[in-house]
Amino acid sequence: MPTNKKPARDLDRKLAKIHAGKYKPADFIIADAKDADMAFGVMAPAPHPGKTWGDSGPGIYRTRQDYISHMQTLINQGQLDIMLTSASNGEQLAKKSGNFKKVTLAIRGNDATDIWNPRGTNYPVNKSIPFQTVNLKRIRKFCDLVLYSLTFNNDLDADLRSLQAYREFRIEAADLGVRHFMEVFNPNAPVGMKKSDEASMVNDHIIRTLAGVTEAERPVFLKIAYNGGKHLRELVEHDSSTIVGLLGGSAGTTRDTFELLQRGEQAGARVA
């Protein structure tokens, strides 16, 4: 009997295997973050060879079109499970038929102030203030997965604002049929706490936050900084139904990246 059911994208196939307890290393989920334009503006696509990051003027940085072209190349290679972009760039990529039959497009769903990084500013050293540029109703036409990020700093007012904004986002996203994954950064402007307590605080905040969230609004997976195997294993073992992944970064060598992935996977991470 003929069926019109679409084949599962790689992400959904891997998520199903992980939840079924059938995970193998080949099921590790790879997400590539190309949403830097929501943090760095003009600098996001990176400088041309021989040019210096942070300088100003024409001809220093690659263009938006270069950035989108690079994303297209990565999609064509077929090695990614998720391509994370800004709404504007994701919209352009989604116009090409077939781009997201295998790879899943994800859009940055919020841009709190701790990711703002224009030249000459110091927003990232101040407490996170929630903000959301994207219009979820608009992006739902071409995307069903978004990223939502949170940063806790042991500041009652700031953390409360962040959680209230997340609550409002979750409700709207679920009503629109938009899934999300949640990344939680380490504190960027902690108040009255020891550095050694930050990883434990992040774990507790994640579980405390999600304890009040029903299945319809829960993130499909989490991403956190690698704070050592002990803290990662603690979070992973607490709830086997929650998939945990690692935040990446531009610092370090290729070898550093692979070593981090290996340590993370051994401790239970299933996404990077």
Query: Using CA atoms, how far apart are residues 260 and 272, in angstroms rounded to an integer?
Result: 10
The per-residue pLDDT for 5 is 58
The per-residue pLDDT for 256 is 82
Query: Using CA atoms, how far apart are residues 105 and 72, in angstroms rounded to an integer?
Result: 12
Alpha helices (runs of H) in 49-86, residue ranges in sequence order: 64-77
Q: Tokens for 36, please give them.
A: 């830097």
Model confidence pLDDT, tens digit, residues 212-237: 999 999 999 999 999 999 999 999 99
The per-residue pLDDT for 268 is 97
E strand residue ranges, the chain: 31-34, 82-85, 104-108, 145-151, 179-185, 222-224, 244-246
Task: Match 């507790």 to its residue by tokens.
Answer: 204
First to last CA, the chain: 39
Phi, psi of 245 (to 5 degrees): -130, 180
Q: Tokens for 242, please give them.
A: 């929650």
Contacts of residue 177, defined as CB under 8 A and 6 or more positions apart, other chains included, come to 140, 144
What's the fold here for domain 10-16+27-266? Answer: TIM Barrel (3.20.20)
The per-residue pLDDT for 8 is 82
The per-residue pLDDT for 3 is 45
Letter for the amino acid at 201? M
Is the pLDDT at 250 greater than 80? The verdict is: no
The per-residue pLDDT for 258 is 86
Model confidence pLDDT, tens digit, residues 10-37: 999 999 999 999 999 999 999 999 999 9
The per-residue pLDDT for 6 is 63
Task: Kindly list the distances between the CA atom of residue 254 and the CA atoms of 127, 154, 219, 248, 259, in Å, as whole numbers in the listed order.
Answer: 31, 34, 29, 12, 9
The Cα angle at residue 11 between residues 150 and 67, in degrees rounded to 5: 70
Query: Using CA atoms, how far apart are residues 78 and 80, in angstroms rounded to an integer?
Result: 6
Mean pLDDT on 115-127: 97
| Average pLDDT along the chain | 95
Contact 83, 35 (CB under 8 A): no
Radius of gyration of the chain (CA): 19
pTM reported for the whole predicted model: 0.94
Helix, coil or strand: residue 33? strand
Domain locations in the chain as residue ranges: 10-16+27-266
